[in-house]
Every structure is written in C-alpha cells, then in structure tokens.
Chain A
Amino acid sequence: MTTKAPFAMKGLDHVVVRCTDLATMKHFYCDVLGGTMQEEDTEIGLYQVRIGDHIVDLMPIDEPSGRKGGPAPGGDGYNMDHFAIQVEPYDDDAIRAYLSGHGVDLGATIIRGGAEGEGPGIHIKDPEGNTVELKGPPDPAYN
C-alpha cells in the first residue's frame, strides 16, 4: 500500500515514563536535571515535566493511568532501552562532577549519532533504573 500519510512528522513531543516513587523521580528530573513541573494531573495520575521544547511525563503505577499498564517495570524486559535529552553546553567533566555530587549512577561517555549529528553523550540512570542519555551538541570533529 503506497497511499501517502495525510501528515508529516515534526518531531517528538513527549515520552511517558512509568514509575513507582513519584517524589524521587520528580526530584531527579526537576531538582537535579533542571526540568520544571508544568502540570500535576492527580485525577488521571500524570505529572508533566518540561524539558526545553518537550515534556517527560511521569506516570505512577499506582494511580489511574499507570495502573492500566500492570506491574512496575522490573529492569528486565523494558520496551524502551533509553531516551535522550539534548543539553547545552556539554562539559563532560562538569556534568560528571555535578551528577556525582547528587549520587547519580553514571555510565560511559560515548560518541554516537543523535538527531543533529555525532556528538558526545553520557548515559545515566534515573532513580528507577531507566537509562537517560544527556546528549551534547554535534561535535564538528565527528561530523
């Protein structure tokens, strides 16, 4: 079937992460990473953290929306390997020192292709084991 889609994609809008301990996750995404809690919908159980142009939504598994997805993610059998957030500036040493100071689990710094080209990124774990990549701007040395 070759009918053309009646739309074009502009980009990602939000990702919705299922979680167990909302307070800890809010602390991480807002206080540590610098997101802003934009709206807390306690009726459906959705907490919207603004990260620049987009949103990371936190969905506690014991609130109405989260319950639909069953038990808590268990570290195995995740459907999302990781997601990446663009950060600027990207100073690897400063980022590592800052996040270490907050007790964040830090992974390797890797050069890999992102949406805007090859550049450095660090893989970190949020408090519930999701991998979040903080991705710096593309580096001319690799593009």
Chain B
Amino acid sequence: MANPPFKMEGLDHVVIRCVDLDAMRHFYCDVLGCTVDRHNKEFDLLQLRAGRQLIDLVTVDGVLGRKGGAAPGPEGRNLDHFAIRIDRFDDAALHAYIDAHDIEIVEEGPRYGADGTGPSVYLRDPEGNIVELKGPPDTA
C-alpha cells in the first residue's frame, strides 16, 4: 500500500457545536483561560486559542452549525471528550479554583496522554462536553 503523501504533525483544532455561545465563551475564556483568536461572523465561528491549538465554537443555529442538524443531546455524541494539556498541576489550587467556579469534576486521577502518564481532572462544560485538563507527565 502506498504511503500517504503527507505526515500528520498533530491536532490543529477541535470544533464544538453549542447552543449558548455566551455561556460557553465564559467557561472556555474566563474560567479556563482561552483568548479569542478571531470571530468569523461569516460562518458564525468563534475561534479560541488554547495554547498552540484552537478550540472553535459553532452555534447550532449558525451558518456552519446548522449543517450538523439538531443540538447535541446527552447521548449519541461523536466526541467522548477532549483533553487540554496544562503547564502545571497543583491539585489543591486546581480544586479550589474549580470549586470557586462551581464546576463539576466528573472524574480525576492519573491518565495516559500524548506525552506520558500524568494527573488529570475531567470537567463538564456548560453544555455537557467533557474536558480533560491534563498535567505534565509524572517524572516518578
């Protein structure tokens, strides 16, 4: 079989379909610390910078979002979760911060990620998507 005429370098962006853009923007920007990279109004696409990659939000009633049909329900989703690599994992500070924002921790513990096994917390965004915050790999 011929090899592909390209090599995959990594993820570039993930695009989440949502209903309430303000609530989602608050979660990803004000709580997690994303910044608005650009707001493409032609496509109703809000591109948020998450370190070296992007998390894009499209509203289900927008130009791009409408093509995907109904709003996501609690089941039958195509994305189980996605993970964001964070630079440091201070368990106590992280819990205090998450609690202060009244955000549910779905699960936590050491998990395998792209650069090894390290601590993770799994949060639910305002529309039920699971976002894993993944710390640096354990050196132990």
Residues in A lying within 8 Å of B, measured CB to CB: 1, 3, 5-18, 31-35, 39, 48, 50-55, 57, 59, 65-66, 69-91, 94-95, 98, 101, 112-116, 128-130, 133-135
Contacts and interface: CB of A to CB of B under 8 A. Distances in A.
Given A13-B114, A80-B15, A65 B84 contact: no
What band does the interface of chain B fall in when counting residues whose beta carbon is under 8 Å from A? Answer: 35 or more
B12 A88 contact: no
B32 interface: yes
Contact of B52 (A1, A10, A91, A112): A10
A29 to B, nearest CB: 9
B16 A8 contact: no
Nearest to B76: A71
Contact of B65 (A12, A66, A81, A83): A81
B109 interface: no
Contact of A81 (B9, B17, B49): B17
A81 B58 contact: yes
A17 B31 CA distance: 25
Kindly list the 9 A-B residue pairs having the minimum CB-CB distance in the complex, ordered from nearest. Answer: A70-B75, A53-B10, A80-B79, A76-B69, A11-B51, A6-B93, A79-B72, A11-B52, A52-B10
Nearest to B51: A11
Given A10-B86, A80-B78, A81-B15, A39 B9 contact: no
B1 to A, nearest CB: 7
A91 B94 CA distance: 44
A112 B64 CA distance: 13
A77 B71 CA distance: 5
